[in-house]
Structure 1
Amino acid sequence: MPGMMTAQVPAFDGQIPVWFTCVLGIIAAAGWLLAGIGLIRLRRQSDVFQPSDPLPLQVSPLPVDPFPGCVIVLDDLGYVLHANEEAVAQFGEGVSAILRHPAARSALSAALRARSSLSEGDELPPVCSTTFNLDVPVPRTLHLALRALPVRRYLEGRVIAVLSDRSEAQALDRMRIDFVAHASHELRTPLASLSGFIDALRGPASGDPQAREQFLEIMFQQAARMKRLIDRLLYLSRVQAHEHQKPREIVEVSDLMAVVLGEVAPRFGNSDCTLDLSVEDGLLIRADEDEIVQVLLNLIENALRYGRRSPEDPIAIILSAKRAAAMDDRWPKDGGVILGVSDNGKGIESHHLPRLTERFYRVPGAVDPAHAGTGLGLAIVRHILDRHGGRLRLSSAPGKGTNCQVWLPGADPALAQG
């Protein structure tokens, strides 16, 4: 057609160009060379990973899962490659954040330096460990131990870390230290008083009958204070000794309340203080009767000692027992019994309430130091309730009195009949 261009394509004559044949030969030679290198490397790997050699960690990190502790696998940069089930259960996704703590990073650097300084005959580098505190989300004390595994042929650097929570152990140690310090302080005060009055009776007051009678009365009070403190300490020790043994006796609450009334009746007979009793029928608990009686006596004693606005003011105390309301989320489960001791006294400021069960803790200025208790009553209550699987709930406000509620698991009436 007019205006169209045409091109002629040369016909194929059946001969392959020489340059194309050369290219195919080069490709084939390269393929054979790569195959030979692969066979050599495979043979070397079979020589390295014999059954007698340990399995390299990067092949499978799963062997750390059965360990009874929090085991974590890191690379040399500190990135978490694997955490076993125990570590995930205890620390969850917070493992990486924990390992970014400056103390943990310093321990990792020390572990890597220890590996790099290995001598030729050494098999494993030493363990590097550190203990540090975390403030969020809750205060915790953690211990971290790390060991950097040696780098071998075809094995990249790996670090094994073992993480443990030592918060409870440190808290117990702190409690023991505080207990010894407080106990020694509480005993030292009456001892110093006794020692001073003895010296006075042997010296300046030896010929003064009036001073002698006054000093002997004070010495008697101080000796009684020491006896109360020692008795409380011994009782607390006995409670803690069998705290792990759950009580098996079925106790009827009405009988228990009768024992309590018999104990406290003399305190209310000749005073302007009143005690009202409100007890539902048919309440049963599985408990050590003597210990629960001690719980209620301690709560009543606290109401009498600390509830008064002044020594002359009367105080009304209500001792009660009732079934816990169903579906009450304040208590562990349904079917429990609530024992209560409430008063209309001066009350306690709310910031003191969480510390009232600490040993030797007393609300500052609540009462004249000469008439203060040992500070062990509510600590004894807490340990007794821990043994019984019970709970203590305290509510108070200045000028509105104090309400103490003790929840205890209820017992099946059929067991009492049997």
Structure 2
Amino acid sequence: MRARRDPSDNWSKTPADRPRRRDIAISSGLGVLVLAVLLAAGTIDLAVFVGTSLALASLSLVYYLTALTTIEPEARPVERVTVQPADTAVAELMLERITVPILLIGPGGRIERANPAARAFLGLGGEGGLLSATLRQPRVLEAVSAALRGEKGRAVEYSTLAPIESHVRAFVEPIRLELPGPMPWRAMLVLADDTSSKRAERMRADFLANASHELRTPLASLSGFIETLRGPARDDEEARERFLSIMQVQTERMRRLIDDLLSLSRVEMNEHLPPSGAVDLCELARDVAGALGPVAASRSIGLSLDACEGEAIVHGDRDQLYEVVENLVENALKYSDDGGSVAISVRADLTRDAAEHSDERIAEGSGRLTLSAPPLSSEARYGVLRVRDCGQGIDRRYLPRLSERFFRVGGQKSSPTSGTGLGLAIVKHIVARHRGGFTVESAPGEGSVFSIFFPAVRKSATDGNEPVQRGATVS
């Protein structure tokens, strides 16, 4: 912006040390006058008068010289800044386009300005509200209050755990405006999202810890088989084929484990950033059912699909939602007995209460738990997908731990053919990123029902800038 100084604002032409020179002259003159009165009264003689006057003049000269060396320069008055209309338009455009959340806080902690990034980041409905009603972080509010008093700005870091974990660095700086009234100070608040960098640090540490723990067993097996093949079984062709087959299974298990760990790390890295696409749950369910149909047929398991009429369009990333549905259906097939059945159902436009609870309980006294819940909203509608199996079921006490990493029901030990124990953890994090819900209902001997639900896309949104992501249907 072009800043212009008001021509009426002139610096003072009076030297800053003139008041001190006046004080020195008056003090010296009064001293000489007093000595003259004493001389006229005969109290002192002429020699005393002359000597005292010279001493007083010398002290005055020393004081004057000392004052000149310690004088502080006169402070430059604050210039009034006038902004031209063209500058205002450019500044407004820049503020609207900046992707970093920026707010201007006025007296009383009220939000006077907020760019679109700040309104989206904090969920602001509009300007004019209290910052404390939106951002409940005492250290940030203290820094803003200090800036409104004209104190030095500072940076504050804070973290939130609900509804989504996030790490933010807030920069607060005071701004003085030439406005009428007793409160010229404003506070500029800039919010920088450090969630990605914080999670990257934690993901690296978690990956190393989990990988080293889970890979120890298959690596030990491979090492033992290699040692055996190089020693006692070197010339035993039958043993060699058997050991190589086991080594291949162990290698495949390590590959699956590494793939799942990398997938989980990628999901957690972007969990705080909601997706912007739109996906049809009905089409997605048909694709997964078509892809896993041969697996079900090989074990004589009936895989049925009950999709709603029309479409069930939800906010989401198609690849991640496909991974969620595939994980749930694979688990249902894995834990179902041969000749059993697995049912997939999709429903559209349900309330949160209807989405969290299935139409009827699978058994009297079955356990039901919400593993991940969306933000509260009385107007939100959801698309729901449920996967039901007729397997062994899960005891109520194990339900809270289903989404833990590497947890296996009933303390099952890891085996070459078992899963990695990361599937439901991946499902939970993807659902959380999509601001959706994840519930489970199960009873021993009766099977389980896993339900996922995501915010539905309004019809106007699908007609506009949010095209539905579609994939090739697997037959």
TM-score range, shorter chain: 0.5 to 0.7
Distance 1:107 1:249 in 2: 45
Distance 1:254 1:364 in 2: 29
- Give 1:118's aligned residue: none
- Give 1:263's aligned residue: 295
Which of 356, 367, 388 is the aligned partner of 2:412? 367
- Cα 1:150–1:251 shift into 2, 3 Å: closer
Distance 2:110 2:307 in 1: 61
Distance 1:44 1:281 in 2: 74
Give the counterpart letter for 2:329 in structure 1. I
The alpha-carbon deviation at position 209 of structure 1 amounts to 7.0
Deviations 1:143-197 (A, max 9, x none): 2222345799998773634152737546743664366334565455533432343
Distance 1:379 1:94 in 2: 36
Distance 2:137 2:82 in 1: 28
Which of 154, 165, 172 is the aligned partner of 1:128? 154
The alpha-carbon deviation at position 282 of structure 1 amounts to 5.8
Distance 1:96 1:392 in 2: 27
Deviations 1:336-376 (A, max 9, x none): 574533334231547755862x7x45346442211431244
Query: What secondary structure does 1:130 align onto?
Result: strand
Query: What secondary structure does 1:394 align onto?
Result: strand
8 Å Cα contact 1:141-1:170 kept in structure 2: no
Distance 2:134 2:320 in 1: 46
The question of 1:221 aligning with 2:268 is answered no
- Cα 1:384–1:151 shift into 2, 3 Å: closer
- Cα 1:71–1:361 shift into 2, 3 Å: farther
Deviations 1:231-280 (A, max 9, x none): 55688899999x766568994976864553223211x24xxxx5363636
- Cα 1:74–1:348 shift into 2, 3 Å: farther
Distance 1:406 1:236 in 2: 18
The alpha-carbon deviation at position 299 of structure 1 amounts to 2.1
Deviations 1:201-233 (A, max 9, x none): 335665777875664443222112123335556
- Give 1:53's aligned residue: 80
The question of 1:164 aligning with 2:210 is answered no
Say what the alpha-carbon RMSD is for the aligned residues.
6.0
- Give 1:20's aligned residue: none
Give the counterpart letter for 2:345 in structure 1. A
Which runs of 5 or more structure 1 residues have no equivalent in the other structure? Answer: 1-42, 57-62, 116-126
The question of 1:275 aligning with 2:302 is answered yes
Using structure 2 for the length normalisation, give the TM-score.
0.49
- Give 2:376's aligned residue: none
Give the counterpart letter for 1:71 in structure 2. L
8 Å Cα contact 2:279-2:318 kept in structure 1: no
- Give 2:27's aligned residue: none
Distance 1:189 1:293 in 2: 31
Give the counterpart letter for 1:299 in structure 2. L
- Cα 1:184–1:292 shift into 2, 3 Å: same
Deviations 1:257-313 (A, max 9, x none): 4553223211x24xxxx53636369666679999887655432331354x47xxxx7
- Give 2:132's aligned residue: 95
Distance 1:53 1:384 in 2: 53
Which runs of 5 or more structure 2 residues have no equivalent in the other structure? Answer: 1-5, 12-75, 84-90, 356-379, 460-467, 469-475
- Give 2:342's aligned residue: 318
- Give the number of the structure with larger relative contact order, counting CA–CA contacts within 8 Å between residues 6 or more apart: 2
- Cα 1:330–1:169 shift into 2, 3 Å: farther
The question of 1:394 aligning with 2:439 is answered yes
8 Å Cα contact 1:107-1:128 kept in structure 2: no
Number of equivalences: 336
- Give 2:171's aligned residue: 145
- Give 1:194's aligned residue: 222
Query: What secondary structure does 1:369 align onto?
Result: coil
8 Å Cα contact 1:134-1:140 kept in structure 2: yes
Report % sequence identity. Answer: 23
- Cα 1:164–1:348 shift into 2, 3 Å: farther
- Cα 1:101–1:245 shift into 2, 3 Å: closer
